[in-house]
Amino acid sequence: MDGNGRWAQSRHLPRIEGHRQGAKSVEAVIRAAREIGVEYLTLYAFSVENWQRPALEVKGLMALLMEMLKRYAQELADNHIALKAIGRLDDLPAKVRAQIRLAEQASVSGAKMTLMLALSYGGRVELIEGVRALARRVRAGELEPADIDEASVSGALYTAGAPDPDLLIRTSGEMRLSNFLPWQTIYTEWYVTPTLWPDFGREDFFAAVSEYNRRERRFGGV
């Protein structure tokens, strides 16, 4: 979800206003995804690299995350959407972690869609932590090195139990993965749009899904 800062700067607004407008796009896309029966939606909300941003911006982002979790936790539950946060969650402020737990607990029963929020997430960090988890199992005698396969690696990642993404939407015209789900996206279809995230809404989401539906996926076959 890229382009919040540029959206704000082009309007001579503080960067946090771009993030606030981007939060409205989050709301629109979640509702659109639920409307058409998407079962898993993952939003790259905050990366491990984002901690390097100015302290005031990071503080504003954490406050905005708290606000969104409080405001929409019940709506997610009412719409049968389960929330799951993935990433290095211990990096987050304690009050944010507590609010995440409350939102996750409120939305666990009867879910028809899973919303995964990638927070303090980094694909390489995820892989490193997954490898360490497998190494601990080997050391404990629970797993033979020769038995490590794609399924066991996938099961050691933050996204264990979730299918690999079918479609990756990248806003603001950026043509890079930016450390997002490197293991899971090897056969994911990309959709890149020049639209900045705060301007990305329901119809933009439907356009991306429509483009995806026109593609032929061969997964290395013919």
CA dihedral over 45, 8, 25, 188, signed as positive or negative:
negative
SS3 of 153, please?
Answer: helix
**Residue 213 is a catalytic residue:** no
Q: Tell me, what's the pLDDT at 107?
A: 81
Amino acid at 93: P
**Residue 50 is a catalytic residue:** yes
pTM of the shown model:
0.94
209-213 contacts at long range (C-beta below 8 A, 24 or more positions apart): 209/36, 209/167, 212/166, 212/167
144 within 8 A of 111, measured Cβ to Cβ: no
**Mean pLDDT in runs of 10 for the chain (222 residues)?**
96 96 97 97 98 96 96 91 97 97 87 96 98 98 97 98 97 96 97 98 98 88 68
> CA dist 68 to 53, 111, 141, Å?
21, 20, 44
159 within 8 A of 180, measured Cβ to Cβ: no
Domains of the chain: 4-212 (3.40.1180.10)
Catalytic entry in 4, 50, 149, 204: 50
22 within 8 A of 57, measured Cβ to Cβ: no
Q: Tell me, what's the pLDDT at 106?
A: 87
Q: Tell me, what's the pLDDT at 71?
A: 92
